[in-house]
Amino acid sequence: MLEVPDSSIRAAVPLPDGWAWIPAGGTRIIVEQGGQRREIPKPSWFSNLTSLGASRDGTRLLYTGWGAATEDTLRLEEVPVTGGTPTVLASSFAERGSARFLSDGSALFTVWLEPESVTLYRVRGPGIVEAVGTVPHVAALFSVSDDLQRASLAWRDSQGDAWLYRVVKPN
């Protein structure tokens, strides 16, 4: 159990013997392991950090955030959990997005290029970006398994003042 003094957080991930999180405001990453707390400052390119992921072995962190210049570009970077120099992995124009590690150690960079159209990229290293595909359906929320074999999506279907939710399982 970890008691976080921040009143709200943007993202959090478990680590061996601890947690990492981005506090409200997105100005830094806080890592607490074994009772020791350290901060990884937001690189100057970013206006704020938005999502966080941790490698399976807990040695690396992925994070995304908006560019300070125009706030229309989402960048993906990786940094050792102990801190140090971050590595720029990828960037894209985006309405929103996130990233996380996949089971093979690569990163999944999920980007909404339009408000409800999600595109997936596998990132194997700095600038090594492979398009996985674009979901051919409106997607307000999207989740995919670590092996890219299963996915779920949600969308909003407004009918005046009524909302409809459906669970659809493909054959």
The CATH number for 48's domain is 2.130.10.10
* The two three-digit tokens of residue 129, written as one number: 């970006």
**pLDDT > 90 in the chain, percent:** 60
Q: Tell me, yes or no, whether 169 lies in a domain.
A: no
Q: Tell me, yes or no, whether 21 lies in a domain.
A: yes
What integer is the mean pLDDT of 25-43? 94
Q: Tell me, yes or no, whether 84 lies in a domain.
A: yes
* Beta strand ranges found along the chain (DSSP E): 9-15, 18-23, 28-33, 36-41, 46-54, 60-67, 73-80, 87-93, 96-101, 107-114, 117-125, 128-134, 141-144, 151-154, 158-159, 162-163
Give pLDDT, residue 1: 61
Please give the Cα distance from 84 to 82 (Å, whole number): 7
Q: Which domain holds residue 80?
A: 9-163
Give pLDDT, residue 104: 94
pLDDT > 80? residue 171: no
Q: Residues 6 or more apart from 65 whose CB is under 8 A from it? A: 26, 42, 46, 47, 48, 49, 50, 74, 75
Q: Tell me, yes or no, whether 94 lies in a domain.
A: yes
Give pLDDT, residue 33: 92
What integer is the mean pLDDT of 14-40? 93
Domain count for the chain: 1
Predicted confidence (pLDDT) per residue in 59-112, tens digit: 999 999 999 998 899 999 999 999 999 999 999 998 889 999 999 999 999 998
- The answer to whether the beta carbons of residues 90 and 127 sit under 8 Å apart is yes
Q: Tell me, yes or no, whether 3 lies in a domain.
A: no
Give pLDDT, residue 35: 87
pLDDT > 80? residue 163: no
Give pLDDT, residue 76: 97
Q: How confident is the model at residue 55 (pLDDT cuts 50, 70, 90)?
A: very high
Give pLDDT, residue 154: 75
Give pLDDT, residue 164: 64
Q: Tell me, yes or no, whether 124 lies in a domain.
A: yes
Q: Tell me, yes or no, whether 22 lies in a domain.
A: yes
Give pLDDT, residue 144: 86
**pLDDT > 70 in the chain, percent:** 87
- The answer to whether the beta carbons of residues 49 and 67 sit under 8 Å apart is no
Q: Tell me, yes or no, whether 15 lies in a domain.
A: yes
